[in-house]
Structure 1
Amino acid sequence: MSVAFAPLLLWFLLIALVCLAVYAARRTDTYIGRRKLGWFLAGYFAVLICSPVVLWLLPPERLPAAVDAAALQKTEAAARDLFPAAMAGRPQSVDGVRKLGEWQFSLVGDSLKIAGNRPYSGLNVLVERKDENDGIIEATHYFTGAILEMIDVSAQVRPVEVTLTENTLMITEPEQYKIEVIRFTQDSMAAQILGGGFAWRLFLNDVIGEQLLYLRVPQGVQIEESKYHLQFVKKDQP
């Protein structure tokens, strides 16, 4: 039997089982009991029938993009390699890294204070000292992508906002949010039809992703003490 006919056969089997259950309910002795059971089965059957139609009507642009094993491995490698590469002054060399935001500011004076609305969030802030005193501060928000259960959710990650007021560089991080992923499989549908529990499974196809803010400051600028755990780039690393 062709695999293409398997879902159709499953739907026919489901219809037959529901019809059989409704017929059995009508033959029960209690009118109220069979009426409740009939309404319950009818509602359940309606939900199952309508769910594929609703899914088909959803706009394609709202459906997250699924990835393959190669893309998952590439994202894992990028998340692993970004921080070491950035500490060596080469964040852009990582395959698969992307820029969520870029900023440039003109600094007046020779001191810089780095502050933020959530300095203890765990955001890595790396500082590279330039070879010259050009008076320009450069900030780049790097991100390696995020995958949950083989679904690319990178578009849901928002960049930080960076502003400069006098000699204070302000990092404004977006509010935290929660992403929930629900997967329906053939086993789950079979369990509803045939009875029995659902098997527990491990969610191993996840990559949270790595992100950091990379700052390039003029050589002679003094960085004041910050609540952020600032880490200074060592460009002499291999």
Structure 2
Amino acid sequence: MMNIGSLLPILFILVIISIFTAKGIRRTVNNKGKSVSSSWARRIFGGYISLLLICTIVVPFINGKDMTDLKKAPIDAIEKEGATLFDAAAAGKINTIGRNSIEKKWDFEYREPKLNLSVGTEEFFATQIFVERKKTNDDKIEAVYYRTRSSVNDMDISKVINPIRLTLAGDILTLHNSKKAKLNFSIFNQIFPVTQFTGEPSLFQHQSSFYEGQSILYLRIPKDLELNSKSEVNIQFVE
């Protein structure tokens, strides 16, 4: 958002232009060489200058709510967080990851010798699954869903993204992808009378970027539990 200090140079330029231009168009000459009044031209120019002044002063104060309530989330930082999470899970050192990356937890009592993993829809289950076998058969399945930040235009939108869902029925643990979140963004650009002096890009030059963070489902299962899964489920066992 522009402040008053940034408006002063623009206002100064507009005043100078209006003074010199007004002097230059006070009178004009018709095709017979006679000097005539050009009040209509002054009215048009004066109206345009007035529009410039009004837009320059008013526009910065009608931007509405910007995205200052969303934290910054640069892509390079998100990539680093994702790599750290993946490496920790693959090495069985998931406990070194801070609680901020934990999205949801599940605990299931389970006494069957086999467990089948299934996907709730025909879509590919995008979350990477890591499985760690416990040292004992405690009849419990522990599941923790980790996710790093996601961003739009370097703004953290993680809080509006839904977590995955797990349901246990019989000997089938069903994995459900996150429910799709609908995001509506409005792009505000200064109008032409302002951008022609400030040099800001037009609406048609705007580009948006989206980056999805790393998501991992970490399972801890009893020592001797037999785990079966379909091909669309990406599982990696942790030694």
The TM tier, using the shorter chain, reads 0.5 to 0.7
Q: What amino acid does structure 1 have at the position aligned with 2:79?
A: E
For the residues of structure 2 that align with 1:165 and 1:233, how far apart are their CA atoms? 23
**Closer, same or farther: CA 196–78 of 1 in aligned 2, 3 Å:** closer
Q: What are the ranges of 5 or more consecutive residues in structure 1 without an aligned counterpart?
A: 29-33
Contact 2:110–2:139, Cα closer than 8 Å, also in 1: yes
Task: Give the match for residue 102 of structure 2.
Answer: 99
Matches within 5 A, 1:72-111: 73-94=76-97, 98-111=101-114
Contact 2:107–2:141, Cα closer than 8 Å, also in 1: yes
Q: Which has more radius of gyration?
A: 2
For the residues of structure 2 that align with 1:100 and 1:92, how far apart are their CA atoms? 14
Identify the match of residue 66 of structure 1 among 72, 87, 90: 72
Cα shift at 1:144: 1.4
Q: What amino acid does structure 2 have at the position aligned with 1:82?
A: L
Matches within 5 A, 1:1-238: 5-9=4-8, 12=11, 27=40, 49=58, 52-53=61-62, 55=64, 58=65, 63-66=69-72, 73-94=76-97, 98-118=101-121, 119-177=123-181, 179=183, 191-193=195-197, 207-235=211-239
Instruction: Indicate the percent of aligned positions where both proteins have the same amino acid.
Output: 20
Q: Which moved more, 1:192-201 or 1:154-163?
A: 192-201
Aligned-pair RMSD on alpha carbons? Answer: 4.6
Q: Secondary structure at the match of 1:109?
A: coil
Q: Which moved more, 1:191-200 or 1:103-112?
A: 191-200
Task: Give the match for residue 31 of structure 1.
Answer: none
Cα shift at 1:96: 8.0
Contact 1:75–1:144, Cα closer than 8 Å, also in 2: yes
For each residue in 1:77-118, what CA deviation from the matched residue of structure 2 results, as whole angstroms up to 9, or x when unmatched?
211122222122122324686111000001131111112224
For the residues of structure 2 that align with 1:203 and 1:10, how far apart are their CA atoms? 30
For the residues of structure 2 that align with 1:51 and 1:225, how far apart are their CA atoms? 57
Q: What amino acid does structure 2 have at the position aligned with 1:234?
A: V
Contact 1:120–1:227, Cα closer than 8 Å, also in 2: no
For the residues of structure 1 that align with 2:143 and 2:193, how far apart are their CA atoms? 50
Calculate the TM-score normalised by the size of structure 2.
0.66
Cα shift at 1:146: 1.8
Question: What is the aligned length?
Answer: 215
Q: What are the ranges of 5 or more consecutive residues in structure 2 without an aligned counterpart?
A: 26-38
Cα shift at 1:59: 9.3
Q: What amino acid does structure 1 have at the position aligned with 2:109?
A: S
For the residues of structure 2 that align with 1:50 and 1:191, how far apart are their CA atoms? 11
**Closer, same or farther: CA 84–166 of 1 in aligned 2, 3 Å:** same
